[in-house]
């Protein structure tokens, strides 16, 4: 019996969407570039553009003037080579295998060398222009200062000499000045074309921290690692969710798992198609809110995997199928939820239509 062609129908609409303010993203990059003074601002676009979609944000940032893009994994870099000059893409984790080094050589992507072993791997593949990460105290990735004399390191052709600040969001932390001093020592030891130390928070520590290239990440996407950035950064990511049910409950009725909320009076409530499987974690239980026309509609009871219940008392006109914005301004959302601004962005799940 011949197989029949499946009937062509429209794809079902998403019940979650992530509205990305493209103008705000570009404005944030331009603001951070200005704050970088004589240095140029690059852009960290790892973790799929901090959860917003790297293939969407990279062209927007490039159009705004950005020319240096930083990812963590090689597959992240491979996904971007058709969008910008590969020579402007740097892979922070460095060449972990000979295949990584061969891929970098073939495409022109810059590996960020983090150890003498990676340096040897790169040189054995034929070498070429690369970056170098120097560990000045975060003890994560990077070459410790005593190892900068290793012959594999001295044999590199280095574009950007990087280090990474451990506590830049705390402007008074003495660790910042210690790391600055060590990075400056490394710059005197290692020949290189450009130096880079500052992440988003580091940019507002002052000119000495800027080098030639800054590497903002969180602030590009509307995050504020410290208050000094508040006048310069605006919200980019606006999660939105659809109402899937509206109902009345009587006084004393409980809502959600383990009955953590009981209605003090008769209430009109709504169920939203959003839960911890989407990155709206249980930390929001009884704390979060949806927004509609300037009204705050609190979360009631526990967030579950696919659903969250909210109070509709202030929005009697809302009905099933209507859209609500999730209260998600990052600095405020972090204070309310106890999650970091980085987690809030990168945990937004695949069911959001971006």
233-264 pLDDT tens trace? 999 999 999 999 999 999 999 999 999 999 99
Give the model confidence (pLDDT) of 141-197 as tens digits: 999 999 999 999 999 999 999 999 999 999 999 999 999 999 999 999 999 999 999
Count other Cβ atoms within 10 Å, centred on residue 11: 5
Domain ranges of the chain: 22-222, 237-346
Helix axes 116-124, 98-107, angle to 10 degrees: 60
Tokens 């970091």 locate to: 340
> Are the CB atoms for 331 and 224 separated by under 8 Å?
yes
> Residue 348 and residue 354: Cα distance in Å, rounded?
10
Among the options 46, 221, 280, 342, which is catalytic? 46
pLDDT on residue 2: 44
Would 22-222 and 237-346 be classified into the same CATH topology?
no
DSSP codes of every residue in 268-305: EEEEES--GGGT--GGGTTT-EEEETTEEEEEES---S
Among the options 50, 221, 257, 280, which is catalytic? 257
Residue 315 confidence class, pLDDT cut points 50, 70, 90: very high
**For 273-300, what is the mean pLDDT?**
98
pLDDT at 4 over 60: no
> Residue 200 and residue 191: Cα distance in Å, rounded?
26
> Residue 208 and residue 36: Cα distance in Å, rounded?
10
Write the burial class of residue 59 (CB in 10 Å: 0-12 exposed, 13-18 middle, 19+ buried). Answer: middle
Give the model confidence (pLDDT) of 120-135 as tens digits: 999 999 999 999 999 9
Is 46 labeled as catalytic in the residue annotation? yes
Could you give the percent of the chain with pLDDT greater than 90? 96
pLDDT at 90 over 60: yes
Q: Please report which residue ranges of the chain form alpha helices under DSSP H.
A: 22-35, 46-50, 54-64, 74-78, 98-107, 116-124, 151-154, 174-189, 200-203, 330-337, 341-346
Is 257 labeled as catalytic in the residue annotation? yes
**For 63-80, what is the mean pLDDT?**
98
**Half-sphere exposure in the Cβ direction for 139 (13 Å, CA):** 2
**Half-sphere exposure in the Cβ direction for 45 (13 Å, CA):** 32
Domain 22-222: CATH class, spelled out: alpha beta
pTM of the predicted structure, to 2 decimals:
0.94
> Residue 199 and residue 125: Cα distance in Å, rounded?
30
CATH number belonging to the domain at 237-346, selected among 2.40.37.10, 3.20.20.70, 3.40.50.12780, 1.20.58.100:
2.40.37.10
Q: Of 228, 247, 246, 68, whose CA–CA distance to 162 is shortest?
A: 68
């Amino acid at each position: 019996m011949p197989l029949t062609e499946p009937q062509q129908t429209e794809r079902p609409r998403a019940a979650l969407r992530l509205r990305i303010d493209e103008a705000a993203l570009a404005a944030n990059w331009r603001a951070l570039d200005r704050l970088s003074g004589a240095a140029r601002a690059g852009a960290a676009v790892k973790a799929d553009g901090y959860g917003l979609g790297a293939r969407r944000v990279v062209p927007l940032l490039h159009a705004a003037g950005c020319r240096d893009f930083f990812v963590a994994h090689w597959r992240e870099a491979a996904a971007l080579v058709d969008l910008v000059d590969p020579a402007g893409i740097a892979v922070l984790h460095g060449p972990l295998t000979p295949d990584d080094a061969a891929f970098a050589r073939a495409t022109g992507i810059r590996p960020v060398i983090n150890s003498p072993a990676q340096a040897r791997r790169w040189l054995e593949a034929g070498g070429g222009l690369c970056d170098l990460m120097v560990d000045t105290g975060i003890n994560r990735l990077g070459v410790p200062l005593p190892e900068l004399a290793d012959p594999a390191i001295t044999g590199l052709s280095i574009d950007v000499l990087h280090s990474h600040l451990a506590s830049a969001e705390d402007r008074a932390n003495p660790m910042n000045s210690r790391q600055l001093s060590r990075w400056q020592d490394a710059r005197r030891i290692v020949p290189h074309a450009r130096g880079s130390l500052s992440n988003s928070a580091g940019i507002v520590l002052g000119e000495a921290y800027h080098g030639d290239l800054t590497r903002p990440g969180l602030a590009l996407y509307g995050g504020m690692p410290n208050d000094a950035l508040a006048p310069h950064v605006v919200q980019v990511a606006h999660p939105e969710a659809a109402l899937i049910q509206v109902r009345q409950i009587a006084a004393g009725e409980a809502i959600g798992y383990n009955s953590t909320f009981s209605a003090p009076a008769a209430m009109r409530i709504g169920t939203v198609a959003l839960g911890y499987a989407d990155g709206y974690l249980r930390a929001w239980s009884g704390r979060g809110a949806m927004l509609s026309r300037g009204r705050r509609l609190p979360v009631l009871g526990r967030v579950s995997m696919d659903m969250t219940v909210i109070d509709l008392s202030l929005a009697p006109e809302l009905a099933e199928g209507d859209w609500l914005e999730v209260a998600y301004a990052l600095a405020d959302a972090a204070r309310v939820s106890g999650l970091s601004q980085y987690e809030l962005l990168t945990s937004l799940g695949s069911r959001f239509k971006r």
